[in-house]
Amino acid sequence: MIAAALIVIVALSALLLNALLQQREARMRDQGVELLRVLGALSLAELAPESGRSAVLRGLSLRNDMAYATITATNGQTVAESTGTGVIVPDWTPPSGPSEWFGERTISSSANRDTMVEFFAPLLTDGELAAHLRIGYRKATLASLLDRSNLPLLATLAFIVFLLVPAFYFLVRREVRPLAVAAKQLDQAISEQRMPTFDINPNGEFGQFVARFNQFVEYANARVAQVESENERVITSTKLLSYRKDRVLRVLESLPDAVLVMNDSGGISVANQRLESLLGVDVPTQSTDQSYDWCTQPIVRQFLSQCRHRATRRYLPDPMEFRLDDREGQTFTVSAYPIFAGKEGASSGCVVLIRDTTQQTIARSSRAEFVAHVAHELKTPLNVLSMYSEALQTADPDDNETIVEASNVIEDEVKRLSALISNMLSLTKIEMGSMDLDKRRVRVNDLLSDAFDVARHSRGADELEFKLDLPSTLGALDVDKDLLRIVLNNLLSNAVKYNDPGGTVTLRARETDTELVIDVSDTGIGIGPDDLANVFEKFYRSDSDDVRDRSGHGLGLALARDIVELHNGTLTVSSEIGSGTTFTLTLFRHMHEVRDVG
Amino acid sequence: MAEQKQILIVDDEAMIRRLLASTLKRAGYDVVQAAHGEQAWAWLTENRPDAMVTDIDMPKMTGEELCLRIQEEIPDRTFPIFISTSKTAIEHRQWSRKMDTVAFIEKPMSMRKFVEDLKRALADRPAQAPEHAET
């Protein structure tokens, strides 16, 4: 800025000096020409008398810029002259023709320090050229201007410059100051990494610029905020989407079934890892393959092909059950469900589920087995009844033996049938969870004594010895009396049924603060180790001939255990072939306390 | 009086066995009882009955297994076999087709009818040689 100011000052000074120079030169020319015209009117004799000294020339006051005045004869001889101090008159070459008698020439010679400007004119005597009058001036130079005579001018110039420079400086400074502030504020904004705004209010165009700039920044800030919030929303929704996708995939992986999602073209777009554990098939990832070669199980491959062919017709194959050679005993079911998309409910591919249905198959077959068992167990006593009633009908009225036997058998079988049916109903009720316990306070002593009496008077009890071993202090217990009586009757009737003639049936009870333990023992045929493990299974009957010889339907113990467990008690058995069997029934007095302890 | 003809009764249901035995005894037959196929087979290795009546569903060895074993190991069998079953004869057709002189009696069986059938089947047959008729 200062440099610019200086340049302007220098340029102004140069222009001023140049104007001065030209003015001086013009004045010099006017003076020179005027002198020549005045002096040329005089004769040579008047100018330069014979006496030799020219008063006219001498009379010319040689000013600072006039260097010399001289009269040179046509032969080149100086007729008269007047010179300034230190000035040597340059040589003169007479002009060749009258056209060059008047003139002006500039002489730079080494003889004089200054460049000379010489004006010359002819001096005539009787119309003849007699000599030339020459007046030389020093050519005005910059240095000559700075001499003392020009001091006031220079002082004026210096004063103007003196006044101009600070004025100019302050002017420029005033204009530039807001720019500097703006630059500083910009720097600060950059260092703080924020959008800049100008906190200044200058006048003029820069002021307008600042206002517009601030407006622009405001607009830009608003846009940035908008973009940022949009970005944030996008990030949030992306995160949400990714979370949901992750969740869906996790759910897919948590399913117990193998899931394959088939798209419209038959490619598999999603599959969970269960396929691998279920069928030992490598899971395809984003497979567009439509031959399903990755699936090493031909049945599944075939099913997938059917799905692909039928998917477009919105008619998928029916679920199919299959077994695998290398998975003995396991059954699987593969099924397909259409995926509906869009408002029209157009189908876009399907979901294929492969499920391990072994349990269902087992349940189904065990249900069928149960029904078969029940049918068999019902049919057997019916057969016996039918045959004995025929025997009774056809018996000789005197054949008392046959009549009594048939009547007894019929009575026994009807009882057996009735027991079987009620046991089966109770068992089914318990297994369905619909058996309500009617718990009441019961005197254990009475309950056990009653059951013991029933057993002692049952068929086949005559040949046995009965022992009842009850402490007189037995308390009361909250139980379902009817159900517990079934348990005791079943255990005691087994003890009678599987006893040997002359054997003993013992009913023993003991109690502690927390539990009541009831033992039902016999000294009969006993149960072998293989049978012992299955003795509580429904319809389980030993293959032992001793057992088979005694009627039974294989439900009594299963029902007994279910009832005991319904009371949160336990029913266990210990036995030895040939020595007898003991069933131990344990009921807890305060179930919750005992459970906590246990 | 001719030698008593011997009937082998195979049934796991003691009541049925007992009724069959008493009925047949009254009809003049000698009776051998077995509770299942295995017991019957054990007896058959040493003896031959004049006729056999067997149940199907039995523990240890079923009636079907017993019959097939007899077919295989006693190829010169001449005694008739009566199969008493709760199921229809159709269910047993496949295996029983391989066997000669097999008759089905559907349970509940009529004793009177069975005795008549038995009599007819054994009408022209002499009793088995005494050495087979032990027990």
Summarised one tens digit per residue, pLDDT across range B71-123 is: 888 888 888 898 888 766 566 667 777 776 678 888 778 888 888 888 888 88
Q: Report, as an integer, the average pLDDT of A311-325.
A: 77
Q: Is the pLDDT of residue A149 over 70?
A: no
Tokens 């180790």 sit on residue: A529
Q: Which token pair is A354?
A: 């492969």
Q: How far is CA A443 from CA A106, A439, A450, A474, B9, in A?
A: 162, 12, 11, 8, 50
DSSP reduced 3-state for A486: helix
Q: Is A52 left (phi over 0), alpha (psi -120 to 50) or beta?
A: left
Q: What is the pLDDT of residue A481?
A: 87
Question: In which band, very low, low, confident or very high, does the pLDDT at A596 lie, cut at 50, 70 and 90?
Answer: very low
Long-range pairs of A453-460 with CB within 8 A, sequence gap ≥ 24: A454/A489, A454/A492, A455/A489, A455/A492, A455/A493, A455/A495, A455/A496, A455/A505, A455/A507, A458/A493, A458/A496, A459/A412, A460/A496, A460/A497, A460/A499
Q: What is the pLDDT of residue A147?
A: 66
Beta bridge partners of B57: none
Q: Report, as an integer, the average pLDDT of A542-553.
A: 69
Question: In which band, very low, low, confident or very high, does the pLDDT at A592 lie, cut at 50, 70 and 90?
Answer: very low
More confidently predicted of A53 and A496: A496
Buried b / exposed e across A462-499, counting CB within 10 Å, b at 16+?
Answer: eebebeeebeeebeebebbbebbbbbbbbbbbbbbbbb
Q: Report, as an integer, the average pLDDT of A37-50.
A: 78
Q: Is the pLDDT of residue A598 over 50?
A: no
More confidently predicted of A395 and B3: A395
Q: How many CB atoms lie within 10 A of CB A283?
A: 18
What is the distance in angstroms between the Cα of A386 and the nearest Cα belonging to chain B?
6
More confidently predicted of B87 and A71: A71
pTM value? Answer: 0.52
Determine, for residues A382 and B108 on separate chains, whether the beta-carbon distance falls below 8 Å.
yes
Question: In which band, very low, low, confident or very high, does the pLDDT at B132 lie, cut at 50, 70 and 90?
Answer: very low
Q: How far is CA A593 from CA A140, A192, A511, A513, A585, in A?
A: 135, 71, 16, 11, 19
Beta bridge partners of A352: A260, A336
Q: What is the pLDDT of residue B133?
A: 40
What is the distance in angstroms between the Cα of A549 and the nearest Cα belonging to chain B?
6
Q: Is the pLDDT of residue A233 over 60?
A: yes
Q: What is the pLDDT of residue A231?
A: 94
User: If interface means Cβ-Cβ distance under 8 Å, which residues of chain A face chain B?
Assistant: 376, 379-380, 382-388, 390-391, 394, 402, 405, 409, 412-413, 541, 543, 545, 548-551
User: Which range has highest mean pLDDT (A335-349, B1-15, B43-57)?
Assistant: B43-57
Q: What is the pLDDT of residue A61?
A: 60
Determine, for residues A409 and B14 on separate chains, whether the beta-carbon distance falls below 8 Å.
no
**CB nearest to B111's CB, from A391, A412, A543:** A391
Q: What is the pLDDT of residue A229?
A: 94
Q: Report, as an integer, the average pLDDT of A594-598.
A: 39
Tokens 């391989």 sit on residue: B98
Q: Which token pair is A348?
A: 């876009």
Determine, for residues B15 and A388 on separate chains, whether the beta-carbon distance falls below 8 Å.
yes
More confidently predicted of A522 and A312: A522
Question: In which band, very low, low, confident or very high, does the pLDDT at B53 lie, cut at 50, 70 and 90?
Answer: very high
Q: What is the pLDDT of residue B126?
A: 67
How many residues in total does chain A contain? Answer: 598
- The per-residue pLDDT for range A423-478, each reduced to its tens digit, is 888 888 888 888 888 888 888 888 899 889 888 888 778 888 999 888 888 888 88
More confidently predicted of B98 and A227: A227
Q: What is the pLDDT of residue A313?
A: 55
Tokens 């217990």 sit on residue: A477
Q: Which token pair is B24?
A: 């047949």
Q: Which token pair is A548?
A: 């088979």
Least confident interval from A31-40, A113-122, A270-279, B100-109: B100-109
Question: In which band, very low, low, confident or very high, does the pLDDT at A347 lie, cut at 50, 70 and 90?
Answer: low
For testing contact with chain A, the best of B15, B39, B86 (most A CBs within 10 A): B15
Q: Is the pLDDT of residue A142 over 80?
A: no
More confidently predicted of A33 and A126: A33
DSSP calls for A202-250: --HHHHHHHHHHHHHHHHHHHHHHHHHHHHHHHHHHHHHHHHHHHHHHH
Q: Which token pair is A236?
A: 């949030």
Whether B8 contacts chain A with CB within 8 A = no
Give the residue among A360, A356, A352, A355 at the shortest CA–CA distance from A330.
A356
Beta bridge partners of A353: A259, A335
Tokens 């049936």 sit on residue: A505
Separation of alpha carbons A370 and A335, rounded Å: 28
Q: Which token pair is A110?
A: 């080494």
Whether B12 contacts chain A with CB within 8 A = yes
Q: Which token pair is A585?
A: 């029934």
Mean pLDDT (chain A, rounded): 83
Buried b / exposed e across A509-542, counting CB within 10 Å, b at 16+?
Answer: bebeeeebebbbbbbbbbbbeebbeebbebbebb
Q: What is the pLDDT of residue A311?
A: 59
Q: Report, as an integer, the average pLDDT of A361-377.
A: 83
* Exposed / middle / buried, residue A9 (Cβ in 10 Å: 0-12, 13-18, 19+): middle
Q: How many CB atoms lie within 10 A of CB A240?
A: 10
In single-letter form, the type of residue at position A435 comes to M
For testing contact with chain B, the best of A369, A373, A380, A550 (most B CBs within 10 A): A380
How many residues in total does chain B contain? Answer: 135
Q: Is the pLDDT of residue A72 over 60?
A: yes
Tokens 């200058």 sit on residue: A202
Separation of alpha carbons A297 and A361, rounded Å: 20
With a CB cutoff of 8 Å and minimum separation 6, the contacts of A362 are none
Q: What is the pLDDT of residue A571?
A: 92
